[in-house]
Structure 1
Amino acid sequence: MVVGWLAGHTHSEMFGSLLVAAHDNQGRLVLLGAVGTGFNDTTRRSLQRELLALAVPAPPVTGEIPASITATAHWVAPHLVGDVAYRERTATGLRHPSWRGLRFDRSPAEISVPEHN
């Protein structure tokens, strides 16, 4: 699920990547990493409007967040569920993630951390 965004290189008001998270086996929401590919301009504009409406002042995730993310992240309430393709999940997150779109058939409560590959 989407928990935040990082600004793009050319437009600081438009996201460059989405921060995604899932529930671990204790039910805690943990950060899985950032997804920066798979978006077209129309999708970016639409998602940006939703992200701004869901803004929260603090990270909705538990656990350690890399300083490189906390320094620039814009956090959102975890209401948007996305479909993210990735090569593998490692101890540090998702490898080669790509956005596939929003999932309206899944609720945030259903989203759990994928197993390590």
Structure 2
Amino acid sequence: MTEAVVVGWLPGHAGGEVFGSLLIAAHDQDGQLVLLGAVGTGFSDAARRSLHVELLALATPPVTGTVPSSIAVTAHWVTSRLVGDIAYRERTATGLRHPSWRGLRFDRAPENITIPGTN
């Protein structure tokens, strides 16, 4: 389990009214916000709708590093104000494998979230 900063969202495949996946990031050793990937599971319908309203109200920041073109084409970037708990199988060179959303963390500040295994 790790914490991640929500930096954006991707639309759902069915083109619904809420996001399909959240784009998540964490700070590297230099303090730069780096994309960890996308998490699209673990949300209740109510949580997905509530988060989508919050996401629509946030502005757009960039993340450092390479963003895969499959994400960049449809991404909606947001200000990094939300922190969530993410369960995952393992960390790879390109991000987190099998991430699953566990909920928002109101007790953690986005600037204190680091890439898993780097503290």
Question: Which bin holds the TM-score, normalised by the shorter protein?
Answer: over 0.9
Equivalent residue number for residue 62 of structure 1 = 64
- The corresponding residue for 1:48 is 52
Tell me how large the CA RMSD over aligned residues is.
1.2
Instruction: Return 5+ residue gaps in structure 1 as ranges.
Output: none
Misfit runs of 4+, over 4 Å:
none
Task: Determine if the alignment matches structure 1 residue 115 to structure 2 residue 117.
Answer: yes
| CA-CA distance at 1:14 after TM superposition | 1.4
Amino acid at match of 1:90: T
Question: Counterpart of 2:47 in structure 1: which amino acid?
Answer: T
- Identify the residue that residue 16 of structure 1 maps to in structure 2: 20
Q: Identity rate of aligned residues, in percent? A: 72
Deviations 1:25-75 (A, max 9, x none): 00000000000000011001000000000132xx52011100011100000
**Could you tell me which amino acid in structure 1 is paired with residue 15 of structure 2?**
H
1:12 positional shift? 4.5
How many residues are paired up?
A: 114
The answer to whether the Cα contact below 8 Å between 1:38 and 1:100 also exists between their aligned partners in 2 is yes
TM-score by length of 2: 0.92
DSSP-derived class of the 2:51 partner? helix
Please list every run of 5 or more consecutive structure 2 residues that lacks an aligned counterpart in the other structure: none
Instruction: Confirm or deny: 8 A CA contact 1:55 1:74 kept in the other structure.
Output: no
Partners in 1 of 2:13 and 2:78 — Cα distance? 20
Mean alpha-carbon deviation: is it higher for 9-18 or for 71-80? 9-18
- State the structure with bigger RCO (CA 8 A, min sep 6), 1 or 2: 2
Q: Normalising by the residue count of structure 1, what TM-score does the alignment of the two structures yield?
A: 0.93
Task: Give the structure 1 partner of residue 39 of structure 2.
Answer: 35
Give, in whole Å, the separation in 2 of the partners of 1:80 and 1:106.
Answer: 9
